[in-house]
Each structure stands twice: as structure tokens, then as C-alpha cells.
Amino acid sequence: MTIDTQQVASRRELSFKNFDDVLADAERCATGPCHTVGNWSVGQILSHLARAMRLSTAELGYWAPWPARLYIRWFVVPKILRRGMTAGFQLPANATSRLVPEPTSAAEGLAALRDAVEGFRHRVEVPPHPMFGTLSRDTWERMHLRHAELHLGFVQIDS
């Protein structure tokens, strides 16, 4: 049964200042006793974050229609940076195959996330995104932090 993630009230509220914060929380989630309150396992969440980070530095070869890109650039990106990402967003079909992870272990997901963060840290320039357009490296980092807050919020640490 699929969970409507917009309706999940028991998510953790997270606020990451940098990638070290993300990796520390990811490590806790991957190694400690925990459970998820959404549709994905810890390994899938970590793998998804890694995939999204890697794709943000790749030339994807397609573009959203320019009116959509303008709207997203002027209204959606600033909202995400101010308030974070909202749960329940449905990926477009062409992004699903690239971003929705297959079942994977927490250890594999954590390794992929560490690798993606390291790769992003060494990136000088980030190419334009098909929907967000050209963003500064700093803005991209903040977008990834907000993305990690959303998804890692679905992991509950068991005591």
C-alpha cells in the first residue's frame, strides 16, 4: 500500500546548514535503529538524494517549456529556499526512472550519498537544470540541503 506522503504528520523537522550536517544525520539513519514513515527505505532515501545531487551536475539534454522554467525560477526556487520542500510532489515521468531508487541497503545508500556530496563539493560550475535553469553553486547547495531535510525527515530514529 502506498502512503500519501502529504498526509504524514510524524516527519522529523530538520534544518541543515551544510553537507556535514546532512552526512551526520544520514550516518545516524543508516547505522542506528530507525524506521521510515513514508514509502521508501533508508537506503532508498539516501540513494535518491545521491542521484538528485549527481544529476544536478549533469547535462540532461532536455528542457521544460520556457514559461514553466520562468515560473519555477522566479517563484518555486525562492519558496523552496525560504520554506523547504513539501512532501508529496510527483516526479514527471521522464525523471522517475532517473530519480526513484530501486531497493538498496542503507549502507549502499550512505556510500552513494557520501560519494555524491564529495563530487558536488569539488564541482566548480553546475550546468543549467532542465526546470530550474542556471543556479549558482551556493543556491544549488541550499536546494540540496532543503531536499535532504524533506527526505531524511521521513526517517524516525528509534530509541
- DSSP designation for 88: T
* Amino acid 61: pLDDT: 67
14-72 pLDDT, tens per residue?
999 999 999 999 999 999 999 999 999 999 999 999 999 998 887 766 777 888 888 98
CA 51 to each of CA 3, 10, 156: distance values in angstroms, whole numbers, following the listed order: 22, 25, 22
Domains, in order of start, for the chain: 12-157 (1.20.120)
100-136 pLDDT, tens per residue?
888 999 999 999 999 999 999 998 788 888 888 888 9
29 with 152: CB under 8 angstroms?
yes
Q: Is the dihedral of CA 54, 59, 92, 19 positive or negative?
A: positive
- Better-predicted residue by pLDDT, 68 or 155: 155
Residue 93's Cα: distance from chain center in Å? 17
Which segment of 18-22, 93-97, 137-141 scores lowest on mean pLDDT? 93-97
